[in-house]
Structure 1
Amino acid sequence: MEKPRETTQGDSNLRESPNLVKHVDTELIFWRRPENQCMVIDFTSSKPEECMAAAAKMDEKRPVRIHDIRGQESQFSLEENGFEYVQHDIPAMDKISESGYADKVIIPKTEELVQRITGATRTITFAHRVRCLATDNALLANNRAPAHSVHSDFTATGALHHLETVVPEAAERESILRGRVRIINAWRPLKAVQKDPLAVCDWQTLDWRRDSIANRIILPHGWNELGKYVFDNTQTWYYLSGQQPHEPVVFSQFDSARVGEGGLTLPHSAFVDPDFVDSPARESIEIKMFAFG
């Protein structure tokens, strides 16, 4: 593979040309390696702020180079690497603030995209989130600030548990599980990304048995299990510089065909690009869905 050429840090025109490649040296927030491969945070037994403080003690920042995939997008795929950048237009993305536009237009068109990429015959979107706030710890509770922590939305156990919520009928769920079941996250900017881009880790460079930690979160209404990750210098991270609204990244958060390989629960995180710390807050939308078949 030809090595991408690097640009000079601080070039004001970096985002104006799609032909420029810009790797970023930054820090990502991983977890320290715990004694066990599973950590439980029980919000029903302690105050929320105590639980958050306990989890924060696990954080550690590690220096990472985020490689710019610009110009090499076609060399990575959902099947092989766990993520795929695609060209996909949705009209009038500026209408996202209008009531019902996401449900009527953006989500259906994104489901069509995922079906085309994966070959799924059915999709069920179970969550979507617009992020449009600056990085500020005081704002994290409302889930609209970028998520600066290396994580996956589910573990394999958590994904199958969540299927029970999305498809509560046991007979239907058993029928679905006879085929391939995936969870896909489709992430796209609403405007060209400068501040807090999204980085994804190439699954082929991750030793999931060594690097993944199950983080079970117990809430009054139930539980979820997401993935946390420890740092290793074999991991390779990518992003797309100057990512535009028509350049979504589609990445795996679970694949029942890959349970023996960790379920393809791809780690991802927002990261700080030192050139754009004072830029306006990132605006993006993520859509999470089950894809069956």
Structure 2
Amino acid sequence: MPDTAALAPRVIQAPLNYLRPIAERPRRYVAAPPPGVPETNIETEAHLVPVEDGRGREAEFTLDRNGFALIEAPTGFADWYDPAAVRARYLPEVERVVRQALGATRVVAFDHNVRDAARLQADPALREPAKRVHNDYTYGSAPERVRSLLPAEAEALLRQRFAIVNLWRPLEVVQESPLALADWTSIRDEDLVESDLVYADRVGVTYQVVHNPRHRWVYFPRQRPEEALLIKCYDSADDGRARLSFHGAFDDPTSPPDAPPRRSIEVRTLVFWNPADA
């Protein structure tokens, strides 16, 4: 008989920051808030949870079953701190990778974030790792994003299957603040709390997440730049396939004390399929 202990995945206990329940609707201002209004009313609370090591089992996790997948996707691009170069050269590359990986008809890369805590003061356009459990879109705000980005085509496109998928890549081997991904099969609608993200010209709506002990978490330690995580933030298909995978960075208790700050880039994409291919 196989040694079941040897087959069991390695599991670490790590703190993940969930939404502390509040009476009002969660909100964060990206633009300057009105006078006397705090930037956010969101508070988090850390819960120590088991996080499975997905190494050696990468093929077990798929976008349609779990809401995330790790793929090999080497790149020759390196101008990460030049936004114009990213838009001109890296985003089209991401579109090709996602289209091929998902068998999609069309992919539109529309947004990117570079995260590098070490360079925040020198470049305010950068961000630090988001150490809170969240999902970038809601079941309602995802279709609205299509309408805002592709207004002339939106109604036709929304009659077929579409998804919002992030491609997340580290810029060097991840040694601290890795990304934890929630398995869709452990997610319930009551875990999801709509939250406003207030810009100067629009209000986006995302999901904050309240703790549920049934959540199954997975991470891929020491992820390499040649590897990319595909993270499903929304899928219009409601036929049993995964519709999302909320996620968040966390403090890895196994990180070396002198680990360099994590550097990564994430690209958001709209993914469309012809009905015959969906």
So what's the TM-score if we normalise by structure 1?
Answer: 0.81
Q: Which amino acid aligns with 2:251?
A: V
2:150 aligns to what? 167
Q: Which amino acid aligns with 2:54?
A: I
Asked if 1:196 is matched to 2:177, the reply is: yes
Cα 1:27/1:177, change in 2 over 3 Å: same
Matches for 1:3-22 after TM superposition, within 5 Å:
none
Query: How many Å apart are 1:279 and its aligned residue?
Result: 1.3
Query: How many Å apart are 1:23 and its aligned residue?
Result: 3.5
Aligned counterpart in structure 2 of residue 290 of structure 1, from 261, 266, 270: 270
SS in 2 for 1:106: helix
Listed as ranges, the gaps of 5+ residues in structure 2 are 274-278
Asked if 1:125 is matched to 2:105, the reply is: no
Aligned-residue CA RMSD in angstroms? 3.0
* 1:153/1:265 contact within 8 Å kept: no
1:31 aligns to what? 19
2:136 aligns to what? 153
Cα 1:192/1:151, change in 2 over 3 Å: same
CA distances 1:77-136 after superposition (whole Å, capped 9, x unpaired): 000000011111112x43434574423432222211111222211111110111111499
Q: Which has the higher helix share?
A: 1
Asked if 1:270 is matched to 2:249, the reply is: yes
Cα 1:105/1:143, change in 2 over 3 Å: closer
Deviates more, 1:187-196 or 1:213-222: 213-222
Cα 1:251/1:182, change in 2 over 3 Å: same
Runs of 4+ in 1 over 6 A off after TM superposition: 42-45, 260-263
Aligned counterpart in structure 2 of residue 51 of structure 1, from 35, 39, 59: 39
Q: How many Å separate the matches in 2 of 1:134 and 1:264?
A: 34
* 2:176/2:252 contact within 8 Å kept: yes
Q: Which amino acid aligns with 1:55?
A: I
Q: Which amino acid aligns with 2:42?
A: A
* 1:151/1:227 contact within 8 Å kept: yes
1:70 aligns to what? 55
SS in 2 for 1:50: coil
* 1:253/1:264 contact within 8 Å kept: yes
* 1:148/1:270 contact within 8 Å kept: yes
Listed as ranges, the gaps of 5+ residues in structure 1 are 7-20
Q: How many Å separate the matches in 2 of 1:48 and 1:108?
A: 43
2:75 aligns to what? 90
Asked if 1:224 is matched to 2:212, the reply is: no
SS in 1 for 2:56: coil
SS in 2 for 1:116: helix
Cα 1:134/1:272, change in 2 over 3 Å: farther
Q: How many Å separate the matches in 2 of 1:4 and 1:240?
A: 18
Percent pairwise identity: 28
Q: How many Å separate the matches in 2 of 1:61 and 1:145?
A: 18
Cα 1:48/1:285, change in 2 over 3 Å: farther
CA distances 1:200-224 after superposition (whole Å, capped 9, x unpaired): 10011111x2211111234431111
* 1:40/1:216 contact within 8 Å kept: yes
Q: Which amino acid aligns with 2:196?
A: R
Cα 1:79/1:196, change in 2 over 3 Å: same
